[in-house]
A = this chain, B = another copy of it.
């Protein structure tokens, strides 16, 4: 609040699941995730978020990783979602839907009067 970074606060607890979501469609390496998240709207602003996060996800067993050594490119560390990761992701989708629904409801129900015909 007040701070310029309203969205930074909103991101809390969301970036991890977003990464899981991306990984659920296929493996990626760190920088790639940064770029994709960056492109997906306001979901990320720095590498300093992603690498520690990937470590945490790894330690929690939600993702696994492997190095890909090519002799023509930088070595890359790819991450893959695990089954447990998929379970977490599903759970998040539920939590998120419920939470966002609650916020939307509150925001809508307190909105300036125009022609209310609220249900609920």
Binding site for B on A (CB under 8 A): 1-2, 6-14, 16-18, 21-22, 24-25, 40-43, 56-57, 60, 62, 88, 91-93, 95-96, 98-107, 110
Copies in the complex: 2
In the assembled complex, which residues on chain B have CB atoms less than 8 Å from the CB atom of A56?
Answer: 1-2
Known: A21-B110, A41-B98. A14 touches B103 (CB 8 A): yes
Among B8, B43, B102, point to the contact of A103 (Cβ < 8 A).
Answer: B43
Q: How far is the CB of A51 from chain B (nearest CB, A)?
A: 15
Which of A17, A91, A101, A106 has the largest number of chain B CB atoms within 10 A?
A: A106
Residues A2 and B106 in contact, CB atoms below 8 Å apart? no
Known: A1-B88, A2-B60, A106-B22. A10 touches B96 (CB 8 A): yes
